[in-house]
């Protein structure tokens, strides 16, 4: 029997990363680190889009979204990373005045 899930999994995260990379012509990185020097079980997650830019370009070379986990959103780590990728897509769209990946 297959496992039932109520939210995104790592496959969804990877597919969204690739969709953002293709749509916005960038490289997407997901960085997960501990939240502090001590071990409290929390972490910091940053998702960032890195663009190839020419020296002196007015365009941003990097756009990012970061969050601490666990958060008050009630999402697991995978769900939080997925949501951050959607926020990253939105932020890129407005930074570069491009269309959103998700069409309403």
**Structural domains of the chain sorted by starting position, each given as residue range(s) with its CATH number in brackets:** 10-95 (3.30.160)
Tell me what the mean pLDDT of segment 59-73 comes to: 83
What is the CB-side half-sphere exposure of residue 82 using CA atoms within 13 A?
Answer: 15
Q: What is the pLDDT of residue 1?
A: 45
- Whether the pLDDT of residue 4 is over 70: the answer is no
Sequence-ordered list of residues with C-beta below 8 angstroms from that of 72, at least 6 positions apart, any chain: none
Sequence-ordered list of residues with C-beta below 8 angstroms from that of 97, at least 6 positions apart, any chain: none
């Amino acid at each position: 029997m297959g496992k039932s899930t109520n939210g995104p999994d790592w496959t969804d995260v990877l597919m969204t990363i690739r969709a953002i990379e293709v749509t916005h012509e960038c490289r997407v990185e997901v960085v997960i680190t501990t939240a502090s020097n001590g071990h409290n079980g929390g972490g910091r997650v940053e998702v960032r889009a890195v663009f190839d830019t020419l020296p002196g370009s007015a365009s941003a070379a990097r756009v990012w979204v970061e969050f601490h986990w666990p958060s008050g959103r009630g999402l697991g780590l995978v769900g939080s990373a997925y949501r951050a990728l959607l926020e990253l897509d939105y932020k890129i769209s407005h930074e570069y005045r491009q269309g959103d990946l998700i069409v309403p």
